[in-house]
Amino acid sequence: MDAKRLEMLKQIARALSAQFGPNCEVVIHDLTARDPERSIVYIVNGHVTGRRLGDGPSTVVMEQLLHAQEDPTDHLGYLTRTPDGKILKSSTVYIRDGRGRVSAILAINYDIPSLLMVENAIGGMVHTVEEEARGHEERITVLNVSDLLEDLIEQSVALVGKPVALMNKEDKVRAIQFLSQHGAFLITKSGDKVAKHFGISKYTLYSYIDLKQEEKRHEQN
């Protein structure tokens, strides 16, 4: 991302944090470097989630890195929950370059428990745009890539619905393809950790990942 665009986003971030106060975290993720371990290039009020400059990505950022050719729509006014239990009202805005490609993400996370206490008075601020449609909260970013990988592994095991010791090949394939689809293997040395967790070799791990590609090729033929 060029310096001029970054400075413009910093101005917006500072304005938002000044407008809404210390409970409003604003984060800028740079996607142009394709470095998922240090995507945060600017952050205001990082104490809301405990993050700081140079920290790693959120699940949203990982998904955008993985599906960089897709055209995402902004995700506005949804609820998230941090690992330490804070409830946040969040928005994710995709910033595009001159060619229309997503080059950055502007994320806004507002710590709302104090607002919830006076919801009747300021219900409009607390109400989320997608609240009725979604019917649940999402988990926000874990604080570093190691935590993110652990979180994704936990989600993959929960998806299968049984402990690794009881998984057969099909179960492990399903879990590992979930990890692949959610960007887990963009994280440095994630293959070693995932292979060890599921009790398979790295060769087997990558063969499980490739199964999805083979299925797609067969469908196209």
Spatial distance between the Cα atoms of 91 and 77, rounded to a whole number of angstroms? 5
| pLDDT band at residue 17 under the 50/70/90 scheme | very high
Answer whether 108's CB lies under 8 Å from 24's CB.
yes
Tell me whether strands 138-139 and 75-81 are parallel, antiparallel or unpaired: parallel
Q: Domain residue spans in the chain?
A: 3-142, 147-215
CATH topology of domain 3-142: Beta-Lactamase (3.30.450)
Task: Summarize the confidence of residues 87-100 as an average pLDDT.
Answer: 88
Task: Summarize the confidence of residues 200-206 as an average pLDDT.
Answer: 91
* 41/143: higher pLDDT: 41
Task: Summarize the confidence of residues 60-77 as an average pLDDT.
Answer: 75
**Mean pLDDT of all residues in the chain?**
80
Looking at the predicted structure, is the pLDDT value of residue 137 above 60? Answer: no
- pLDDT for 106: 94
